[in-house]
């Protein structure tokens, strides 16, 4: 049985896991780099261990140091959060070999769904709709041959990762070879895996993802979907649930397909299956993320559930009490990612936070790992906080979020609250009619 959880992460997600553990009566261990010694997750955990310098490769990505911290503190479980080592099957296996409970999917399932090419094969096997695409490309000549078969434009993608790294849109034959070689280099640098594949590129897609919750006893529920179309360079900026673009018929059809695919591949824990929706409203499988997502709070708000607590209980062998028929979205939720960055140039803005006042009031939730007086380091992602607004209707949720952003005070560093206000005020967003190209069109970039 899990008694003490080491959180192999930092920032708001580490604090989010600590809170879930405390409510379940579990002890917690924070790990931190030297530059994060005064971070909030370190303060709130029961114990904390420094695992190295600021460079993530020498701390948050350094498996021996993390395992040693668990052994030193007597932790008997590891929660990886998101990012860093969260989708690293080798890390999961190492934890299990060291008699630590891995709070996540089994390593084999992580490989089956985490590798983008293998995941496409799985998705096709279970009848999930697919964009025309390929397996791993062996050479520029192979890429050219496949691109001609599928037709331009195409998009190159890294097989072993996501987040925009290794992604290249190619519109003609002349630019394919250079894009192929660059995509392989980026994939290798980002994921230690140079494999890339290609798919037909949809010019103005919507990005819709479904939340998976599955236990070790074969029970699988799909906790609705999220609309994540507002992105910059494949990085999500604002998310909402449920999607204003999806019909109830399409939702129910996808739930049935996903339940079968998850159950028959032996997957358990949390997971998110991501789809593109084309201009005709058709969904196409894109990838699966084998971890908790940054944007999980919007699902929690509309479904009335604690996904992180469920993840921990599932790892402990518990059978889910949730039934698919009882899961009904109540109201609407929107999440704005508040980053320490210049809203005009998107350049990171590290430094000391001189004043910090998060918003509050009815229907507002703030997930954050910062406080007034804390210094934002330049070494990590610029996410400071997630502001989540929940209301009975989408229109009310937009108004509530607008009010919350007006209340948000963070001095000493630049933050992107004004960008979010522009998004909320845009007529296209208010109508719920946006694509992944919306932000670049809004900003004229």
Q: Which of 5, 251, 15, 284 is nearest to 127 (CA)?
A: 284
Angle between helices 248-264 and 116-125 (to 10 degrees): 110
Angle between helices 394-407 and 417-425 (to 10 degrees): 150
The answer to whether 76 and 2 have CB atoms below 8 angstroms apart is yes
| Beta strands 269-277 and 206-214, pairing class | antiparallel
Structure tokens at 320: 């889910």
What is the Cα–Cα distance from 73 to 338, expressed in whole angstroms? 33
* Residue in this structure with the two tokens 């005064």, named with its chain if needed: 38
**291 catalytically annotated:** yes
Q: Which of 83, 8, 82, 94 is nearest to 45 (CA)?
A: 8
- Torsion 416-420-425-429 (CA) sign: positive
Q: Tell me which DSSP letter residue 82 carries.
A: S
Beta strands in 247-376 (DSSP E): 269-277, 283-289, 332-339, 351-352, 355-357, 364-368, 375-376
| Beta strands 409-411 and 220-232, pairing class | unpaired
Structure tokens at 289: 């993320």
The answer to whether 278 and 284 have CB atoms below 8 angstroms apart is yes
Among residues 184, 291, 365, 400, the one annotated as catalytic is 291
The Cα-based distances of 209 to 227, 248, 285, 434 in angstroms read 7, 15, 9, 15
The Cα-based distances of 412 to 104, 338, 353, 381 in angstroms read 37, 14, 5, 18
What is the Cα–Cα distance from 383 to 364, expressed in whole angstroms? 18
3-class secondary structure per residue, 273-304? EEEEECCCCCEEEEEEECCCCCCHHHHHHHHC
What is the Cα–Cα distance from 434 to 426, expressed in whole angstroms? 10
Structure tokens at 207: 């990005």
| Beta strands 375-376 and 269-277, pairing class | unpaired
Neighbours of 371 (CB within 10 A): 13
Active site residues: 291
């Amino acid at each position: 049985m899990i008694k003490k959880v080491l959180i192999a992460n930092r920032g708001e997600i580490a604090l989010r896991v600590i809170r879930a553990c405390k409510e379940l009566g579990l002890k917690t261990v924070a790990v931190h780099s030297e530059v994060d010694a005064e971070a909030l997750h370190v303060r709130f955990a029961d114990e904390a261990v420094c695992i190295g310098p600021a460079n993530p490769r020498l701390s948050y990505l350094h498996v021996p140091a993390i395992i040693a911290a668990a052994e030193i503190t007597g932790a008997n479980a590891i929660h990886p959060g998101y990012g860093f080592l969260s989708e690293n099957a080798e890390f999961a296996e190492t934890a299990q070999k060291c008699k630590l409970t891995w709070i996540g999917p089994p390593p084999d399932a992580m490989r089956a769904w985490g590798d983008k090419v293998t995941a496409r094969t799985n998705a096709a096997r279970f009848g999930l709709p697919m964009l025309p695409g390929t397996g791993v490309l062996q050479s520029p000549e192979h890429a050219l041959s496949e691109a001609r078969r599928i037709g331009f434009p195409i998009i190159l993608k890294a097989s072993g990762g996501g987040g925009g790294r290794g992604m290249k849109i190619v519109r003609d034959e002349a630019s394919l070879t250079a894009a192929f070689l660059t995509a392989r280099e980026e994939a290798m640098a980002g994921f230690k895996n140079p494999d890339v594949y290609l798919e037909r590129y949809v010019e103005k897609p919507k990005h819709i993802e479904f939340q998976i919750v599955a236990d070790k006893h074969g029970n699988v529920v799909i906790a609705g979907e999220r609309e994540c179309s507002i992105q910059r360079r494949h990085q999500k900026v604002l998310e909402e649930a449920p999607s204003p673009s999806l019909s109830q018929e399409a939702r129910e059809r996808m739930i049935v397909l996903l339940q079968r695919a998850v159950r028959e591949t032996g997957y358990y824990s949390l997971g998110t299956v991501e789809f593109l929706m084309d201009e005709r409203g058709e969904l196409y499988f894109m990838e699966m993320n084998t971890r908790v997502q940054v944007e999980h709070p919007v699902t929690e708000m509309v479904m009335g559930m604690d996904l992180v607590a469920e993840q921990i209980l599932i790892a402990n062998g518990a059978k889910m009490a949730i039934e698919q028929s009882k899961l009904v979205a109540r109201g609407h939720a929107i999440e704005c990612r508040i980053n320490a960055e210049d809203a005009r140039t998107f350049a990171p803005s590290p430094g000391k936070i001189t004043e910090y006042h998060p918003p509050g009031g009815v229907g507002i939730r703030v997930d954050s790992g910062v406080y007034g007086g804390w210094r934002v380091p330049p070494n990590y992602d610029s996410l400071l906080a997630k502001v989540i607004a929940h209301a009975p209707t989408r229109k009310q949720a937009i108004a509530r979020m607008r009010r919350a952003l007006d209340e948000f005070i963070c001095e000493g560093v630049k933050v992107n609250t004004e960008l979010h206000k522009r998004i909320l005020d845009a007529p296209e967003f208010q109508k719920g009619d946006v694509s992944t190209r919306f932000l670049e069109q809004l900003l004229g970039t």
